[in-house]
Structure 1
Amino acid sequence: MEIRPIISAMMRNKTAPLLIAAQVALTLAIVCNALYIIRDRLATAARPTGADERNLSEIRFYPHRQISDIKEMQRRDLEAIRAVPGVVSATWVNQIPLGQSSWNWGGLVAERGQTESSVSATFYFDGQGESVVDVFGLNLIEGRNFTPEEYIEYNPAVERRNPDVVIVTRALGEALFPGETSFAGRTFYLGNSPDASAVRIVGVVEKLQSPSAPASDRAESSMIGPIHYLDPFTRYAVRTEPGQQDRAMTAVEEALLALRNDRVLLNRRTFAEARESRYSGENLMAGLLIAVTVFLLMITASGIVGMASLWVNQRRKQIGVRRALGAMKHDILRYFLVENVLITTGGIVVGLGLALALNNFLVGELEIPRLPVAYLGVTMVAMWVLGLLAVAGPAWRAAAVPPATATRTA
């Protein structure tokens, strides 16, 4: 089939083809970027924290009057928690992964006197109780855990102290010592001032996500210090046996409330609930973009169907004449399909430019990576398929018009 007659026919009525091509271009630009953002947001929300989230919970209390025996309170609380059937281990912590309330340390440097640093890390305290590494279920890939003599007591009302040793994530080690693969035994500094504290890395965990969990690589930049933090605000991380989380945590709450009457329960939640809360925005955005994508595809398909149906009604005489001159049904069907492919291709060419321009804008505003070429290719194919499926019905009806009927109704 020659393309020139089809193009000539479209040029005699440019408005309809241009509208369809513009709709295809706009749909491709938006859908292509929307699909990439959906994938990016869902992948971000699915990142593992490094902890045994399925069996971990936190419980928090806040004092409503002064507590003088903070250390003893923490010790008794942990004894009560560990006595609950179904509890595997527990410890006091200052924060949890995905908890959104974050303790951070910026300006970390590998060499004293280094003036500039973009390395920062979340600082987890390995408080009274079992080790955070054990309670969280972290994977220690290098070095060792803390020894009892390495722990320090830190009363924020009296003094400020830093530990001599830390455990870091592999991501933080790589940020501090680029190109290195082993970090245990290395020393770095908590700040770039001349009097910054030096700390030695005694262990490396594979992964420990920060409470804020940004979309960037900074989410994995964490360190753990052996600090017994004497704060009346209490947060305990509790690891339970599989399938025992709800029952055991209810018993933990009752046991802790029975111990003292000078504090109130702030909240109790599982790590899974913390994940859901942290990524609610990402999941909402993904859901909205999925709805927008489906809506745009439906609108584009409806526009192609409506326009093709109108063209069939307007060309009944032309169809009848062609049929009378010997054109077969498949010739009529092929005519409309080729016509749609030409219009869709024109829209795709324009849409590719719009998609790249929109992606450049989103890269600057949302800090997402640039659009991979694969997404452009997949969306192009999808638009061609959508156009062919949308025009198939009207094209089939056009091919089914009897020659005599078409001639009489001219």
Structure 2
Amino acid sequence: MEIRPILSAMLRAKTAPLLIAAQVALTLAIVCNALYIIRDRLQVAARPTGADEQNLFEMRFYPHRPIADIKGMQLRDLEALRAIPGVVAAGWTNQIPLGQSGWNWGGLTADRRGDTQLSTTYYFSGDSVIETFGLRLVEGRDFTPEEYIEIDPSKEQRNPTVMIVTRALAEKLFPGETSFVGRSFYLGSGPDADSVRIVGVVERLQTPYGQTDDRVENSMIGPVRYIDPFTRYSVRTEPGAQDRVMAEAEKALTALSKDRVLLGTRTFAEARASRYAGERMLAGLLIAVTVFLLLITASGIVGMASLWVNQRRKQIGVRRALGARQWDILRYFLVENLLITTGGVAVGLGLALALNDFLVRALELPRLPGMYLGIGMAVMWLLGLTAVLGPAWRAARVPPAVATRTA
């Protein structure tokens, strides 16, 4: 089939083809970027925290009157929790991954004279956080009993001399190094900065905030028993025992003391769902927008193709009378639509890259991979051909006598 007659026919009535091409271009630009943002947001929401999330839950208590023996209360609570069948580990912890509130430490440096903006989340507990959270130790060891310190925040503030860090944090403190146990770093800069020694490295431990950048695994763990009346217990259970253990734990700890109230109990999976609710909502919204745009574009192509068929009924009838087959008529409309769609795709590629450049600068999103442009092009071509297939098939099936008589 000659392309020139098709182009000539479109140039004589430019408005409709230009509108369809513009619609295709705009849809391609939005769909490519929307699909990439959807994938990026869902990947962020699925990142592992390093903890055994499916078997972990937390309980939070707050005193409504002074508690005389805070340490004794904590020890009794932990003893009661560990006595519940199905409990693997339990510990007092100051925060949990993706809990959205926590403790931070800024200005870490491997050299007192250094000037750094490196900050980290600071987990601490009087019990093994590795055992409680189910973390994976990749180098070194857990804390020994002698390394734990006891701090009453109403009387003093001090820092431990040893830490366990995530591999991500260790690599930032000591770029280019592969072994970190025994290395020391400083909690700040200057001569008064405290030095701490790394005794262990865990594979990963996300912060309570779940940042979308590489700070998400900047975490360190300190051996500190914190004598605070506000208590947060993290409990790891055997698989399938979480619901039962949660109910028994609430009952057991509530009965131990009437000097406090239970602020809440939640699973780590619920903490994840709460943290990433916005990401999932954004992904859902973009999916809806993408589907809506594709439907609008397909409807526009179908409507315009149907109009062209009605306007060309006499032309179709004459061609059929001169010997044109149904396939020839069908191919004519398919090629015509393919040319229009290709023009829109060419413009849409430029718009997609321009939109992505804006998103990179405004929202710090990654650059759009070429794969998404290829997928977008294929989707638009397939959408265009599929949308025009119905009207084109109806045109091809019009008998010559009927087409010429009703034109």
2:345 corresponds to which of 325, 348, 359: 348
Q: Deviations over 1:325-344 (max 9, x none)?
A: 11111111111000001100
Secondary structure of 1:48's match? coil
Give unmatched runs, 5+ long, in structure 2.
none
Cα distance in 1, alignment partners of residues 306 and 333 from structure 2? 11
2:133 corresponds to which of 103, 117, 136: 136
Query: What pairs with 1:72-87 in structure 2 (closer than 5 Å)?
Result: 72-87=72-87
Equivalent residue number for residue 360 of structure 1: 357
Equivalent residue number for residue 276 of structure 2: 279
Cα distance in 2, alignment partners of residues 118 and 346 from structure 1? 49
Cα distance in 1, alignment partners of residues 268 and 117 from structure 2? 29
Secondary structure of 1:226's match? strand
Equivalent residue number for residue 199 of structure 2: 202
Equivalent residue number for residue 4 of structure 1: 4
Equivalent residue number for residue 253 of structure 1: 250
Q: What amino acid is the match of 1:124?
A: Y
Offset, 1:194: 2.5
Secondary structure of 2:33's match? helix
Cα distance in 2, alignment partners of residues 191 and 104 from structure 1? 12
Equivalent residue number for residue 295 of structure 1: 292
Give unmatched runs, 5+ long, in structure 1.
none
Offset, 1:193: 2.9
Q: What amino acid is the match of 1:16?
A: A
Cα distance in 2, alignment partners of residues 45 and 24 from structure 1? 31
Q: What amino acid is the match of 2:30?
A: I
The reply on whether 1:27 has 2:24 as its aligned counterpart is no
Query: What pairs with 1:189-268 in structure 2 (closer than 5 Å)?
Result: 189-268=186-265
2:145 corresponds to which of 148, 151, 157: 148
Offset, 1:25: 0.6
Q: Deviations over 1:336-393 (max 9, x none)?
A: 0000011001111111111111111111222211100110011001100000000000
Cα distance in 1, alignment partners of residues 350 and 190 from structure 2? 49
Secondary structure of 2:135's match? coil
Q: What amino acid is the match of 2:164?
A: I
Cα distance in 1, alignment partners of residues 29 and 68 from structure 2? 63
Equivalent residue number for residue 123 of structure 2: 124
Cα distance in 1, alignment partners of residues 393 and 83 from structure 2? 75
Cα distance in 1, alignment partners of residues 346 and 377 from structure 2? 9
Secondary structure of 2:36's match? helix
4+ residue segments displaced more than 6 Å: none
The reply on whether 1:322 has 2:319 as its aligned counterpart is yes
Cα distance in 1, alignment partners of residues 33 and 253 from structure 2? 50
Secondary structure of 2:114's match? coil
TM-score scaled by structure 2? 0.99
Aligned residues: 407
Cα distance in 1, alignment partners of residues 102 and 358 from structure 2? 30
Equivalent residue number for residue 112 of structure 2: 112
Cα distance in 1, alignment partners of residues 12 and 263 from structure 2? 72
Offset, 1:68: 2.6
Q: What amino acid is the match of 1:185?
A: G
Equivalent residue number for residue 331 of structure 1: 328
The alignment's C-alpha RMSD in Å is 0.9
Cα distance in 2, alignment partners of residues 122 and 68 from structure 1? 30
Q: Deviations over 1:222-248 (max 9, x none)?
A: 100000111110000001111111111
Cα distance in 2, alignment partners of residues 361 and 106 from structure 1? 31
Q: Deviations over 1:13-67 (max 9, x none)?
A: 1111111011101100111000000000000000001111111100000111122
Query: What pairs with 1:12-91 in structure 2 (closer than 5 Å)?
Result: 12-91=12-91
Cα distance in 2, alignment partners of residues 80 and 126 from structure 1? 18
Cα distance in 1, alignment partners of residues 195 and 188 from structure 2? 9
Cα distance in 2, alignment partners of residues 16 and 268 from structure 1? 61
Offset, 1:257: 0.6
Cα distance in 2, alignment partners of residues 174 and 101 from structure 1? 25
1:385 corresponds to which of 382, 385, 389: 382
Q: Deviations over 1:244-277 (max 9, x none)?
A: 1111111111111111111111110011111111
Secondary structure of 1:231's match? coil
Cα distance in 2, alignment partners of residues 194 and 284 from structure 1? 48
TM-score scaled by structure 1? 0.98
| Larger deviation, residues 186-195 vs 143-152 | 186-195
